[in-house]
Chains A and B, each alone.
Chain A
């Protein structure tokens, strides 16, 4: 096939788009390869080439020749620094197929970008320099592709011209690769000897490699069949949006991610266990009899059952997992380390506002060797295997079984940054086997007996701010008014159930998580629970807030300037922190994140604790939690 043939497009093309990723390090010839595809398929126009030629003089590294890497490095910072930072998506079309290429940097510090590019790719082109053979980065790239679920790999052995197109070198490197990749779970591994620079076996078959009988790279990409990937899987329909234009129509809008469904089929919503039948499959272009993987449709059911965004519709015989604990591979993507125990936002399928936490780190994976390394946290670009617990049960499949229903992202609850991405390995049966014991008496009954509205009154602030003093007074006053209360104090809990915890960020998170769970049990028993904890991180306070009902978490910010706390220093801790005897002390060398909108904000400077306690009681009365009279007189 000659270059001109690429220009003649036809509309008989019924093949799907192929989405692939190119892997390779600087110098392997990856950019030249992509540049050649784009150039020879006329995806680059003359004016873009002119710009490229201009940029090549300014930023390029190829002398007079056009530097294709500049085409790929789109951002100013990248061109200035001569490195690829981010994922770029490139498009080109041939008479037989259209392509979307995710071009990502190959360095270890950009593992997150490679994972991003791989997440939507069906195939990976792994570029290897024929002079160097299988290197550490080749292993890393292959491992990440495998982990992200890519099942088809083609090794492009580049720079064959520099080793005189020798068959034995090609055979040796391919044998090396196949041996190494045998446990990565690839369905197909192809290898092609190429020279990106001279177009050997890329667009055209090369005369220099008569010994090679396989297809050239473009032929291979045009003809590989990857259709069946989702078609044979069980039916999964994550509900995105409930379409209710009027009282007579209630449809569930979403995209069939795998399998197929027909009108009349029996379905189940695994989270609730409710069954029904498909009544209609509605589209703008008319009703369908059957919807298949990839179709965006709206489904109506024969019965009115409760379904919302985040539910998955499946067939009763092929159900996904439902669990609130699972094990997963996680890629950490943020500058700030992962904090096990901290409450994070999770997006699992269309469940976009789930919350949960990483309950245990099992190990970190050395991406270069695949070895498991002991670790307590993950840093930027690190991959690990961990246990995760979600606040509510999630519906999912193992990632290996279904990429679309087995993946999730982790979101920082304060900044909303995407901090991690994960692939579910399996549900933790611990959750399945320990069913919640149904109790005959609930919060409602227990509360009614005490004639009060239970809640958590959560004092937060620096050490020495006056939390415990005020909390104690509030407790005494409520007790005097005949309210049933309990006071949980940070120091006391650290002597008891949380005595194994230190002061690291993740131990602080676990301390608060534990305290929150205890406080929640007490709320369930109908008590007014007064808590006094430094609780420096917003994420953990919000986790406790989310654990109880609306209006049951009253955050009291005891706002005392650090200078005043140091002056008071009731426990002599600031002195110790300054002398280095106490490490990671909040306000000294560990952060305190002040609440942005606490229910009650107490400024303590020049105020008497007695008055501040009264302020708290007044606020509780205003919220209808207490009645401002003495209950014994009623």
Chain B
């Protein structure tokens, strides 16, 4: 542990250790409170509220803070003024403008994909045990975490596509740099 190799899963290698620890803390705490909450108190309402609040905090933190600080990606929802339809807007840092720490990168994507899988497993457990009150909590968790997972993986795809496009443009000598960050617009 004294000299971990670059990219290994140790929080001390992170460039944003506080962001990373908060991110992992919200993610893991919501699952832990859901599973082990009733061991410490028999108040069903309290555990439910705590889980939901942790899930909401995790959703907000991942979407607005952890995503852009750890891997330089961001997505948000925009409403078309006329029709009221909504579409997602993806934003990614320009290639080369920031270096993404490998440790942050691995932590981010592992947590992004592992937590929804854990909630799916908990949903199956809740169905098998006929705990339909808890199932509603798990459904909320699944909606929130899967939304973030889908959005960030699409955002990553857009980021790679636009960086390939930039490379083609610059090597072809057509245009210089595309100013600012690139926005991939996804209508849907």
A binds B: no
A residues near B, CB below 8 A? none
Chain B positions within 8 Å of A, measured between CB atoms, are none
